[in-house]
Amino acid sequence: MGISGIISAIVIGAIIGALGRLLVRGKQNISIVVTIIIGIVAALIGTWLAQQVGVAVTDGIDWIEILLQVVLAAIFVIIYASWAGKRR
């Protein structure tokens, strides 16, 4: 993976993570770095799941794949926020 792939992963991760945080109600005490990491992980897992189901083989924008990634990011935000809240 080149530098452009790393930058793309960070940008897409930030977008997916931010959209995931928007879906979760209430205030989350999560830094932007954690949001990006959650977004990157959700994007990777969401893409893998979409490929397993056969959704990622369409022409154009894969809306179902993006929706799956955002929902996974929201789930990961909930899990991390509850875990981080218990640590404090």
Q: How far apart are CA 25 and CA 78, in angstroms?
A: 9
d(Cα 21, Cα 23) in Å, to the nearest integer?
A: 5
Cα–Cα dist 70/17, whole Å: 7
Give this prediction's pTM: 0.84
- CA angle (14 as vertex; 9, 19 as ends), nearest 5: 125
Please tell me which residue, 83 or 60, carries the higher pLDDT value.
83
pLDDT on residue 37: 92
pLDDT, tens only, 28-75: 888 889 998 999 999 889 888 888 888 756 677 788 888 999 999 999
For residue 86, what are the contacts with CB-CB under 8 A and spacing of at least 6? none
Q: Where are the domains of the chain?
A: 3-87
| Residues shown for the chain | 88
Query: Residue 74 has what pLDDT?
Result: 93
